[in-house]
Amino acid sequence: MQIVRKTKKTEKNSLSILLGEADEFAREGTRINIANPQSMADGIFGGKYLTICGQRMLDCSRLDYLGLGSNIEIKKIMKRSIDQNDLGCPASQIVMKTESTVSLEKKVAGLHGMDNSIIFTAGYPANENIIQALGLRMNTPHLVPYVRDTKMGLLSRETPTLFYVNTESHFSIQHGVRLAKAQAPDRCYGWIYKDTEQLRNMLQKSKSKFNGSPAVRVIATDTLSSATGRIFDIQELCQIAEEYDCLLYLDEAHAMGVVGQSGCGVASALPDFGNYADRCIVMGTLTKAFSHLGGYVALSNAKLSWFLRFCSPQYIFSAPIPPWMAESLVRTIDFVCGEEGAKARRNLILLSEVLKTALEAHGFDLMGSSSHIVPVRIGNEQKADEVKKYLESRGIIASLFKHPAVPRGEALIRFSVCTDMTFEEMEEITSKLVEARETIQF
């Protein structure tokens, strides 16, 4: 069948407005280098080596920290889970809950010493939905009609949620706060802080501003910064949360599977985390060290867990990860927490230390990284673009971070170390970066 297209050419219509903007974005976005994928791999997606324009590259942008993406045992686990289940997704977790999703909920909660968790399709929606839910609570748009027609939430309707967000937190957390504030500006306040002294001052000030009236206070932070590889002082944040009666929202996306003896992240490695667990909501993703899809928050209070899932739009209106993947994840988590995972973690730590020591010996600024995420400060964005291209021309792919992922003028190149890399490859990264600095002068 032939479709006749009837778009008036001269008048501004919806399509031409959008296309005009798209043209402009393509032109300007290409000029400032934000409108293209940073690297484009040919052919099969194949672990640590990728082919780009026919050349074999070492992929240091990969977040498969334990190398499970190419692990034969994990592939067997996945295949078995696929054989035992249908491939489709249930409608949504509010309509249909599968046994494997419930098993996964228990499994990920257990990683943090908690009893409850809420599963999402990735880390981003976990952050965005739960932060938004903490901000809006019963004022989340899909609940508003019910709240209006009943007396639900009458007692706490005027009680604000106050957020105190670490400036280095992932965009998904900051966006969740913005979404909540946009819906309820008079009820939901966001603060951004840089250090714990500043945080204490803000908490103190907000106490007097709200005149001692009740508020839900939420401190939110990554535990391990995705940009700088810094591990934050979660012990101190737990104490501050206790002192100022706050909830503590911890994003462990890059720590899960990697940090701690069993790979259970920064918070649960604290000797006295159990004392603070009741006021903590711990977020994790299954897309990085676990090499699957999925994200979650874990918490100890069953009623709060139940409440937050109903306040999360994606939980209600979108499909979950497929049951075969939930089942595969339960087995993969056992693998990661066991001896194989421990061996992979030990090697990862060793490789990361070798790379950081070599780079520091050459005078590079590693921005306080204390993990397997190794950034190199470049500063100037244009130079950072050039460094990225130079490395690529020498067979190394790294991630480029520019504003708004990092503050303006703080562009960096991030190398993420994975356990299946070699010591020779750590040397190669170092020598190519030294060459790049001589050529580009950063």
Ligand X SMILES: Cc1ncc(COP(=O)(O)O)c(C=O)c1O
Segment contacting ligand X (CB under 6 A): 17-25, 206-214, 247-255, 346-354?
Answer: 247-255
Residue 333: φ, ψ to 5°: -65, -40
Stretch that binds ligand X, among 117-125, 140-148, 301-309, 367-375 (CB under 6 A): 117-125
**Residue least distant from ligand X (Cβ):** 123
The end-to-end CA distance of the chain, in Å, is 59
Distance CA 229, CA 223 (A): 10
In the complex with ligand X, which residue's Cβ is closer, 89 or 354?
A: 89
Q: Which C-beta is closer to ligand X: that of 50 or that of 253?
A: 253
C-alpha of 162 from chain center: 22
Q: How far is the CB of 194 from ligand X (least distance, A)?
A: 17
> Which one among 100, 228, 287, 352 touches ligand X, defined by CB under 6 A?
287
Smaller CB separation from ligand X, 217 or 254: 254
Farthest-apart Cα atoms in the chain, separation: 70
Q: Which of 351, 286, 409 is nearest to 60 (CA)?
A: 351
Residue 257 touching ligand X (CB under 6 A):
no
Out of 59, 105, 222, 410, point to the residue binding ligand X (CB under 6 A).
222
By CB under 6 A, residue 124 contacts ligand X = yes
Which of 68, 111, 122, 351 is the binder for ligand X (CB under 6 A)? Answer: 122
Q: Which residues contact 257 (CB under 8 A, 6 or more apart)?
A: 65, 66, 263, 288, 289, 290, 336, 341, 345
Q: Which is nearer to ligand X, 57 or 256 (CB)?
A: 256
Determine phi and psi for 238, rounding to 5 degrees.
-60, -45
Query: Per CB under 6 A, does 228 bind ligand X?
Result: no
- Of 57, 60, 133, 253, the one binding ligand X by CB under 6 A: 253
Q: Give yes or no for residue 221 binding ligand X (CB under 6 A).
A: no
Whole-number Å distance between alpha carbons of 365 and 182 = 38
Instruction: Based on the shown chain and the rule CB under 6 A, indicate whether residue 251 belongs to the binding site for ligand X.
Output: yes
- Report the candidate in 238, 287, 14, 350 with the shortest Cα–Cα distance to residue 124: 287
SS3 25: helix
Shorter beta-carbon distance to ligand X: residue 254 or 437: 254
CB of 149 to ligand X, least distance (A): 35
Binding window for ligand X (CB under 6 A); candidates: 16-24, 70-78, 122-130, 296-304 = 122-130
Give the DSSP H or E segment for 193: strand 188-193
Residue 172 near ligand X by CB under 6 A: yes
Stretch that binds ligand X, among 79-87, 118-126, 185-193, 383-391 (CB under 6 A): 118-126
E strand or H helix at 166: strand 161-166
359 binds ligand X (CB under 6 A): no
Cβ-based neighbour number of residue 326 at 10 Å: 26
Q: Which of 295, 322, 341, 375 binds ligand X (CB under 6 A)?
A: 295
Q: Is 64 a binder of ligand X (CB under 6 A)?
A: no
Least CB distance to ligand X at residue 172 (A)? 5
- Each residue 362-401 as x (binds ligand X by CB under 6 A) or -, in order, gives ----------------------------------------
**Would you give the binding string for ligand X spanning residues 267-286, x where CB under 6 A is met?**
------------------x-
CA distance 185 to 171: 20
Beta-carbon contacts of residue 442 (< 8 Å; ≥ 6 apart)? 378, 379, 380, 383, 384, 387, 436
- For residue 301, the minimal CB distance to ligand X (Å) is 23
Burial 9-26 (b: 16+ CB within 10 A, else e): eeeeeeeeeeeeeeeeee
Task: List, in order, residues 6 or more apart from 93 with CB less than 8 Å away.
Answer: 101, 119, 309, 315, 320
Summarize as ranges the residues that interact with ligand X (CB under 6 A): 122-124, 127, 170, 172, 222, 226, 251, 253-254, 285, 287, 295
